[in-house]
Structures are given as structure tokens and as C-alpha cells.
Chains A and B, each alone.
Chain A
């Protein structure tokens, strides 16, 4: 473990984690809404938003899958030091982290069971930008219709078709965060 792994975490954990969770909750409860996260400086290629989200939600009880795009020694060391999360294969992961192409195919991840739909993985997808919406979305949390920058449409429409099973997504770019729960209907804009 390099000394760099020891820095870049929260300086005031309980308050910074509370603010980060509240922003993440706002994003998950209102799909399409883009929020800002702050408080951590993770090693590249991890974005600030993804780093803060990992510190806020991941710990020793949540197995994490690092997709090839993010499976570097620096990222592993940083996550290990700050969260202690075990690194696992996709099928066993509660959380997965990477860019879109390296997280595919999605059918490797748990979508929960009919009796326990909550036992589904949450994917943290690193994008270049969340600025330009590419899909129209509707459903719980959305008054009428919203837009969201998605890497594609078909995969998310298929995921929604599994409802109430399915994966839940956070999208991160720099310090920005958006979310797409399985309950959201997705169409091309």
C-alpha cells in the first residue's frame, strides 16, 4: 500500500457522509436530477463523485466488484484503506464500479429474487459527462418526464422490464451524480 492511499478520504466523516448520502438520496428519489458531491479526493481514474459515493455507502459488509477500467492498484489500495470492502466477482457484488463498457454484460450481476428484490446490485457507472440528456425517463420520483445522460437506452429499458427485480444505477462524472433506479421507464430522446 502506497502512502497516497492513506489520504483523500473524508476529513469530518459523519457530517460529510451525511451530506453526500442526502444528495445521493435526492438523486435516487428524483431520477434525472444531477447533484454535486464533495469531501474526498480519490486516485485517478476514480471521479470525485464516485469516490465520495464509495466512502458513503460501501464498507466491510458490502462486496465490491471493480470493473477492469477501475481495477488498478491505486484504486484498490484507496478503497481498502478507507472502507475495507472485500473485492469480489460480479455475481457476488453488492456494488460494482467502472465505466460502462467494462461493466458489460450486465447479466453477471445479481438482480435480487422475487422474495428479496432488495438483494440486487447497485452499479456505479463512471461517465464523461452528465450534462446532455440522451434519454427520456418517467416513473416514480418524476412529476411528468425528465431527461438523463445515459450511455445507451436498450440496456436500461430491459432492466426496467425485470421490475420489481433489476439493477439500480448511479452515474458519476467529476463531482456530479445522477441515479436511475429499476423503477424508471427509459426511452430514447
Chain B
């Protein structure tokens, strides 16, 4: 039930129009970071204020919202954002990926393939992929204008020179539609292939850094690499200890003081759906006990 004291989806209409115009320009120029006048939100920076503003601008009363934090629906960040929109927009919420029409995510892409009608909203801390290589905004803006991305390849090359492989394991840069290099937010590089030609619309909001960008459906998002060191999506070499999945991204969880550990799906809905379907990992019985 929506609280009458708030405007629908919290933000005032003028702010929503400003964000909506930025989203449309972001969609028209995939991968380009559109500046926007980010607002103070009733939660701290780093809690997804960019994603929350994009979600607020996109929500309609008919939406079914899912919020995940590192794949889980039940962590503090996900729960508080979900409750925020239940109170201010009165929307339905779900933990099931397939039921959701809009999914706000912190640092994961759901394992289940997304569909045409879905929008995935990412919370982005540092939207500029070149920022740690070039601190000046004036310079990075010029580099994007000129497609001057050599410095990023040098960085990946230095990874190989030092570590024998591209050691970047999250926030792995992609080139969008052959034009803009884009930071996909700190998703594990395991998720990068899911960015590419997704059926869903993907929107990215960075609140503190005041940027919005987008990947329209079916857009090309190619992970940067070299012919002799091709991109490889990586994960822990285990099966999920609860559902037995071999193909999902895993979290490593310490389970006792003796260094014992288990690997479980990071995507909580994916794992539960598999367990409900009768799949079991090697520690599943222990969990039931």
C-alpha cells in the first residue's frame, strides 16, 4: 500500500522528468555516460542512490519489483530499497526473477535469462571506466570523444605482464556497439557475457558521480581482450553445495572456526528454484537438518 504523504515513487515530478530525459539520451547513445542532477536520497551514497533514482523514474504502479544485492534478495541493502518502493510507489515485489518486470541490482546479473519485458537497473559506484587510469574528468571526457582507449589496453596488458593473465575480475570493461568503453558496474566478469545482446533493457545509475547510461536490448557489449589472451568468464571451480549447480556464480562461505567452507550460488532465487525442483548439492542435507 502506497503512503499518501509521498508523491508516487518518492521523487518530485520535475526531478523525474530530468532523470527521464537523461535515460532517453542514454538509450539513444548506448554506453555514453549522460550527466544528470542527482538528488539527495533518504539513504547514504553507496547504498544505490543512482539505481534508486533510475528505478523511481521508471516505475509504474503495475510493476513487480525485485531488488538484489550480490544476487541475494534478503540482505540489508536489497530489503531496504524494496521496502522504500513498497511504501512510496505501492508496487508489488517479488524474489522470483521471472516474475519481476523491473529488477534493481547491486553487482550481479541474475542467472536466469532475462526477457523482453524486463528492465535491469544497476547501482554504479564509479561509472567512468578510465577513472583509475586518468583522474581528470576533462581528460576522460576527451578520451571518450576521441575513442582514445589505448590506456585501457595498456592496463590489461600490464595485468598480463605481472600476473600472466588479465587479473581484472570485476567491473571488467566492455566496448558497447563498437564505440564507447563502458564500466558494467562491479559485476563479476563471470556476468559480462550476459550483458551482450540481452533481451532486457539495462540501465545504469551512479548517484554520487551523477551519471546515467544504458544498454538497449540486443546491444553488443564486448569485453576488452587480446587475440592471444581472450576474455574468459571465471568462477570458483566448484558446484553449489546446496543445489549442485555447476554453471552458476558462487559465493565462498566460511562455516566454522576451523577454516571449513562451502560454496553456494550467489543468486539466491536461482539456487532456491533449483532446490525446489529437487536438485541437491553435497551439503544440502546438512542445511535441512
**Residues of B in contact with A (beta carbons under 8 Å apart):** 7-9, 13-14, 16-18, 20-30, 32, 34-35, 57-61, 141-142, 144-146, 177, 179-180, 201, 214-220
Query: Given A140-B30, A142-B218, does the pair A13, B13 have CB atoms closer than 8 Å?
Result: yes
| Cβ-defined contact, A118 with B7, below 8 A | no
Among residues of A, the one whose C-beta sits closest to the C-beta of B213 is A118
Q: Using Cβ atoms and an 8 Å threshold, which residues of chain B touch A14?
A: 7-9, 13, 16
| Cβ-defined contact, A168 with B28, below 8 A | yes
Query: Given A29-B217, A30-B216, does the pair A168, B25 have CB atoms closer than 8 Å?
Result: yes
Query: Given A18-B60, A183-B30, does the pair A59, B17 have CB atoms closer than 8 Å?
Result: yes
Could you list 27 A-B pairs, sorted by A, with CB under 8 Å? A14-B7, A14-B8, A14-B13, A15-B8, A15-B60, A17-B17, A28-B28, A29-B201, A29-B214, A57-B24, A61-B18, A94-B21, A115-B145, A116-B35, A117-B32, A118-B25, A118-B34, A140-B30, A141-B217, A141-B218, A164-B180, A168-B24, A168-B25, A181-B27, A183-B28, A183-B29, A183-B177
Q: Using Cβ atoms and an 8 Å threshold, which residues of chain A touch B32?
A: 117-118, 164
| Cβ-defined contact, B29 with A115, below 8 A | no
Number of A-B contacts (CB under 8 A): 110
| Cβ-defined contact, B218 with A140, below 8 A | yes
| Cβ-defined contact, B218 with A18, below 8 A | no
| Cβ-defined contact, A182 with B28, below 8 A | yes
**Residues of A in contact with B (beta carbons under 8 Å apart):** 13-15, 17-19, 21-22, 24-25, 28-30, 56-59, 61-62, 94, 113-118, 120, 122, 139-143, 163-164, 168, 181-183
Nearest-Cβ distance from residue A37 to partner chain B, whole angstroms:
13
Q: Using Cβ atoms and an 8 Å threshold, which residues of chain B touch A22?
A: 58, 60
New A-B contacts (20) at CB < 8 Å, excluding given A17-B16, A25-B58, A62-B21: A15-B8, A18-B8, A18-B59, A25-B20, A25-B23, A28-B27, A58-B17, A61-B14, A114-B145, A115-B144, A116-B35, A117-B29, A118-B22, A139-B177, A140-B30, A140-B177, A140-B217, A141-B218, A141-B219, A182-B28
